Amino acid sequence: MFKLKKLSPEGIESALAKVERYRLLNEPWEAESICLDILEIDPSNQTALVMLLLARTDQLGSEQGASLADAQEIIPQLESEYERTYYSGIICERRAASLLARDTAAAGQVAYQWFRRAMEWYEQAEKIRPAGNDSALLRWNTCARAIMRHDHVRPVEREEMPQLLE
- pLDDT of amino acid 166: 45
- pLDDT of amino acid 158: 58
- pLDDT of amino acid 116: 97
Q: How confident is the model at residue 115 (pLDDT cuts 50, 70, 90)?
A: very high
DSSP string, 6-48: PPPGGGHHHHHHHHHHHHHTT-HHHHHHHHHHHHHH-TT-HHH
Q: How confident is the model at residue 36 (pLDDT cuts 50, 70, 90)?
A: very high
Instruction: State the pTM of this model.
Output: 0.90
Parent domain of 17: 10-66
Report the distance separating Cα 33 and Cα 4, nearest Å. Answer: 11
Q: How many domains does the chain have?
A: 2
Residue 44: inside a domain: yes
Using alpha carbons only, give the angle 137, 141, 144 rounded to the nearest 5 degrees: 140
Q: Are residues 56 and 99 in the same domain?
A: no
Question: If we measure between CA atoms, which residue out of 80, 95, 98, 97 comes closest to residue 135?
Answer: 80
Q: Are residues 88 and 151 in the same domain?
A: yes
For residue 4, give the DSSP letter: P
For residue 61, pLDDT over 70 is answered with yes
CA distances in angstroms from 106 to 15, 23, 137, 147, listed in the order given:
41, 30, 28, 14
Q: Lowest-confidence range among 31-40, 47-56, 64-73, 102-111? A: 102-111
CA distances in angstroms from 107 to 90, 91, 149, listed in the order given:
18, 17, 15
Residue 2: inside a domain: no
Domain limit, last residue, from 39, 66, 93:
66
Question: If we measure between CA atoms, which residue out of 26, 120, 129, 142 comes closest to residue 80?
Answer: 129
Q: Are residues 104 and 52 in the same domain?
A: no
pLDDT, average across residues 51-63: 93
Q: How confident is the model at residue 21 (pLDDT cuts 50, 70, 90)?
A: very high
Phi, psi of 129 (to 5 degrees): -70, 150
- pLDDT of amino acid 66: 87
pLDDT tens digits for range 137-150: 999 999 999 999 98
Q: Are residues 60 and 85 in the same domain?
A: no
Q: What is the mean pLDDT of the chain?
A: 92
